Structure 1
């Protein structure tokens, strides 16, 4: 481009040059000229004319001038010249091909999953975990110092419900996965306590219509408890006796919660034992998914026992934006959000409604978002940027959080603390509630996917148990990542395990196919290094795609868009399969055969690298 500009007699800022894939009818590569001409002082028409004429005069073995259309300089790539550059780069860099270090490297914390440690992970956590893992892998590919954090929400009444029951029945677990056992206890205690309250309400209520409504809820809870009594008869009977014999079980549960927040040894021992039991099960699930965390952050230690929350509240109260309302302490986030400048700095979209944030209830207890202020300060002290992977339903709380931090002096908080919002996963016919025990666990989804993958590869007479695991997990991950995070996903087995297109199994199959070609070549004694200059128009589309991989990874990482990688992998796999189906490789003439094998080897490497960025492992056979 510099030579073309020199020939045209104009100066251009080479830093503004971007190369994009051209529309098919215009060539292979397009260079947008709009940014370039503004600095020249020439009219667009004159600049485009000069550059077009110069491009036609400059000889280049790699690129051929195709014309200037609609402000784009269009060029055609000579595959014989381009292939050696791309294939040699892939050979040299190997597993690191596509990893381009950012000019500005940052310390980044990606906080994700962070499920309440009182029940197993469900399908929503599955999407969260897969997204968070892919994000941290992509960011690492850019050279950032990335740490994955799991926030253990061990403070609050929900945890106390689980502790209350677990301490009575912990010896009855048997061989059940620990998080499922704790989750069942949490649900049973919730239902039993609520049922006791409803029965008392029904006895006191005089209005027949209200009594009918209460009885309807009682029937619902009794129905759910019947299921648990059949699945966990001994545990259920023990918990039912515990709640029935207590005059006020909620008071006992609140006592556990209060004792834990105050660090009383008896409460700490009971609570930590319950939570660690559940976390053991959660970690099993994460291990199966290949998700690893660098830090497990205990809410109690970071925000409560350290008095960091009280310190944040004191400083926030000094801003003049905190007031008392009906005994509660309230932060007027809505007033702060009236300023367009503040909204921009805090990353609050125009038109997004912000309401006041209750910091403390009238009884003096803090809310989750209040404690999250202290936790965010802790994370920001350890990173240049923090990415919270949290469901879009928490957008208001995350906006209030950033506004509170802005009020505390974090004027660039919109850039430093990102809410990576994702939508729910819809399971047709299912409405989830962990309190009522109505959810589809991640373990169930994972196992069902692996079982279906096993059935499919058995049909084909190929693959092992290890391959079934890799294919099943790869299918799940690709499915969750192939949608933009702001889209609701409707879960469909047909789409998850589609072996024909745009799926994990399709990408894995394409990789296995490439690896199989290389294995057959080795078995036939074809080991010589090929000359990529022999490749031509048949290979052009695949070569161009291979060359685009690094820029694709950069775009995906910098924009936090794993779906860009899934789309790329699907295109590469499709084009490679189309190429191999129509073009002989092992049966090609000697010389060209070796060159085409080099191309196949490069495809296998790039497919492998792309899958690795998504946390997907390639199987051996399928």
Structure 2
């Protein structure tokens, strides 16, 4: 129970008793560091019901609380803020109450009536995963874990874009330049092997365009007449017609890519509960268009195309079916959303992890689904995130200048090794232990750096900066966790039971316990905001406070046995919450560093 759960009814009773009115919604916040107090009641909202001077009102309420609530030991009023000092006994009892809770802060998700489906990754099968996919996967996976910890049942999914002209480009290029080699025979990871041919296609396409332009064609004409593009377009038609040899090549090359993706996902530490494929879903939604026409939600133009007019909703007219009867991406997304609820009937909402260039698309999609009458459409959310850039600038897939996800993870491991060796952080460990740690530190640095930034913001990713062992970084937090584990190993007594009650708390102990108390609320806020950044920055605040505590008071050198045990127990619980927080971000914590 958070202290505000005790204070809210007490303040409401005080307002009724002193002023004879019902209190409006109460606003509490943490007391600012430069004032004495633990919890602050903001007086200004009360002025809607209580006329008078905020300082006088705060003083009357503070006096009442001090006299009637045993846990309120002191108070002071600054302007319109009532700062309350909470007795140490509350925080000591609180720590004891959570000490043996292994999943403290997490709610049981099995009792949730409605599930949420979180979609992320959703790559194309013509190239390997890159830096942008890393942010996408880390955000989606972390949001899913946070929602689960908040008490929701969660399904993780992706839709794999496995059809279309971009896929056929890689297929044509492999036929031309692959010499019948497979990833195994060529010594390549499958997705990288296929991605090379996507780049090769673009290179050949540009060469053919230049040749045609030299023959007198305009650039626009050359783009249409380039032989390799005509071959790719014909291959798409053959795929749609089900030509056996094209389907077989498509299946073979896609499997190469899936094998590669699975390696990357395993290294990144993300997973999925279900997979959808565009080749299965691209026809979905067409029957829904007919239903929408009958209901008057959609309208047919003279050329036979079907549209929805959203101008009255501040959007525009959107096509949902072409004049030749073929579906567009919007139609497919409508059908896929409906199919997912059929496949998972307990789904009551969905989260789409997709870059902010698709903001408008999802506004239209969600509005159409609402107009079609699906009640779950009120619980759809676009987890819109900004692009990731490196100090070297933007990436382009066709030109082969993307930052490959596997290469980046390997670079992070090497960077962690280099910095660790320079700092002498891992002296005394075996080479095998060091290699495992380099990966944990490197990936932890990558994930934390990506997730500490608000998802909506674009970001510049600097690998060297992310592996700094000081400041708001993953390695700094991991190092503090390892420091706590070292203390626990050195403790020569049993600290498994919370059986020690110090008469008074050191201010640093109290601040730490207050931060532990906030953890469940941070999980709930992060789940509501779909923001792993709230978890990341909470963990950093907790670690900063712990390091301040570590510097300010003796722990193992403490001569008082009971006080020593209490501080070790407090350290133990802080370590557990760090590990829990990082698990929500998909980050491992090492026992030694």
Give TM-score scaled by structure 2 length: 0.86
3-state SS, counterpart of residue 31 of structure 1: strand
Matches within 5 A, 1:5-20: 5-6=12-13, 9-10=16-17, 16=25, 19-20=28-29
After TM superposition, give the deviation of residue 600 of structure 1 in Å. 0.9
Change (3 A) 1:53 1:320: closer
Aligned partner of 2:68 in structure 1 is 58
1:496 equivalent to 2:466? Answer yes
User: Deviation string for 1:501-557 (max 9, x for gaps)?
Assistant: 1110011011001111111114xx565856143443341211211111111111111
Aligned partner of 1:588 in structure 2 is 558
Aligned partner of 1:204 in structure 2 is 216
Distance 2:299 2:132 in 1: 34
1:335 equivalent to 2:311? Answer yes
Distance 1:538 1:251 in 2: 71
User: Deviation string for 1:284-332 (max 9, x for gaps)?
Assistant: 111111101001111222342xxx232133234443644448x583524
Aligned partner of 2:37 in structure 1 is 27
Distance 2:22 2:286 in 1: 53
Aligned partner of 1:346 in structure 2 is none
Tell me how many residue pairs correspond in the alignment: 561
**More displaced, 438-447 or 47-56?**
47-56
After TM superposition, give the deviation of residue 92 of structure 1 in Å. 2.1
Higher relative contact order (CA 8 A, sep 6+): 1
Matched-pair contact (CA < 8 Å) for 2:388–2:459: yes
Aligned partner of 1:562 in structure 2 is 532
Aligned partner of 2:500 in structure 1 is 531
2:87 pairs with 75, 78, 86, which one? 78
After TM superposition, give the deviation of residue 470 of structure 1 in Å. 0.8
3-state SS, counterpart of residue 278 of structure 1: helix
After TM superposition, give the deviation of residue 17 of structure 1 in Å. 5.0
Distance 1:613 1:475 in 2: 15
3-state SS, counterpart of residue 92 of structure 1: coil
Matched-pair contact (CA < 8 Å) for 2:415–2:464: no
1:98 pairs with 105, 116, 128, which one? 105
After TM superposition, give the deviation of residue 406 of structure 1 in Å. 3.1
Alignment RMSD, CA only? Answer: 3.0
Aligned partner of 1:618 in structure 2 is 589
After TM superposition, give the deviation of residue 405 of structure 1 in Å. 2.1
Distance 1:436 1:362 in 2: 34
Aligned partner of 2:436 in structure 1 is 466
After TM superposition, give the deviation of residue 560 of structure 1 in Å. 1.1
Matched-pair contact (CA < 8 Å) for 1:127–1:480: yes
Give 5+ residue unaligned stretches, structure 2: 1-6
1:254 equivalent to 2:221? Answer no
Matches within 5 A, 1:146-161: 146-161=154-169
Matched-pair contact (CA < 8 Å) for 1:532–1:598: no
Change (3 A) 1:247 1:392: closer
After TM superposition, give the deviation of residue 484 of structure 1 in Å. 0.5
Aligned partner of 2:320 in structure 1 is 359
Distance 1:431 1:501 in 2: 27
Change (3 A) 1:34 1:363: same
Aligned partner of 1:451 in structure 2 is 414
User: Deviation string for 1:105-141 (max 9, x for gaps)?
Assistant: 5310000010112111111111111101110010000
User: Deviation string for 1:452-511 (max 9, x for gaps)?
Assistant: 111222231515111111111110111011111111101113431121111100110110
User: Deviation string for 1:139-166 (max 9, x for gaps)?
Assistant: 0001211011011112211112122334
Aligned partner of 1:513 in structure 2 is 483
1:291 equivalent to 2:270? Answer yes
1:134 equivalent to 2:142? Answer yes
Distance 1:419 1:111 in 2: 10
Give TM-score scaled by structure 1 length: 0.83
Change (3 A) 1:436 1:528: closer
3-state SS, counterpart of residue 150 of structure 1: strand
**More displaced, 268-277 or 248-257?**
248-257
Distance 2:174 2:289 in 1: 33
Aligned partner of 1:371 in structure 2 is 332
Aligned partner of 2:400 in structure 1 is 437
Distance 1:424 1:139 in 2: 24
Matches within 5 A, 1:273-352: 273-304=252-283, 308-318=284-294, 319=296, 321-324=298-301, 329=305, 331-338=307-314
Change (3 A) 1:4 1:363: closer
Distance 2:572 2:23 in 1: 34
Matched-pair contact (CA < 8 Å) for 1:29–1:75: yes
Matches within 5 A, 1:223-234: none
Aligned partner of 1:190 in structure 2 is 202
After TM superposition, give the deviation of residue 435 of structure 1 in Å. 2.1
Distance 1:568 1:444 in 2: 30
**More displaced, 605-614 or 20-29?**
20-29
Distance 2:21 2:588 in 1: 45
Distance 1:547 1:268 in 2: 57
Matched-pair contact (CA < 8 Å) for 2:130–2:404: yes
3-state SS, counterpart of residue 452 of structure 1: helix
Distance 2:43 2:113 in 1: 29
User: Deviation string for 1:217-267 (max 9, x for gaps)?
Assistant: 9xxxxxxxxxxxxxxxxxxxxxxxxxxxx9944343233323433545443
Matched-pair contact (CA < 8 Å) for 2:39–2:84: yes
Distance 2:215 2:489 in 1: 77
Matched-pair contact (CA < 8 Å) for 2:452–2:533: yes
After TM superposition, give the deviation of residue 97 of structure 1 in Å. 0.8
3-state SS, counterpart of residue 125 of structure 1: helix
Distance 2:140 2:453 in 1: 14
Change (3 A) 1:259 1:18: farther
Aligned partner of 2:3 in structure 1 is none
Aligned partner of 2:130 in structure 1 is 122
Aligned partner of 2:356 in structure 1 is 392
Which 4+ runs in 1 deviate beyond 6 A? 11-15
User: Deviation string for 1:564-599 (max 9, x for gaps)?
Assistant: 111111111111112112211111022211111111
3-state SS, counterpart of residue 516 of structure 2: helix
3-state SS, counterpart of residue 473 of structure 1: helix
Matched-pair contact (CA < 8 Å) for 1:261–1:300: no
Matched-pair contact (CA < 8 Å) for 1:21–1:30: yes
Aligned partner of 1:401 in structure 2 is 365
3-state SS, counterpart of residue 101 of structure 2: helix
1:424 pairs with 387, 408, 412, which one? 387
User: Deviation string for 1:53-81 (max 9, x for gaps)?
Assistant: 31132251x332413555544211233x1
After TM superposition, give the deviation of residue 365 of structure 1 in Å. 4.3
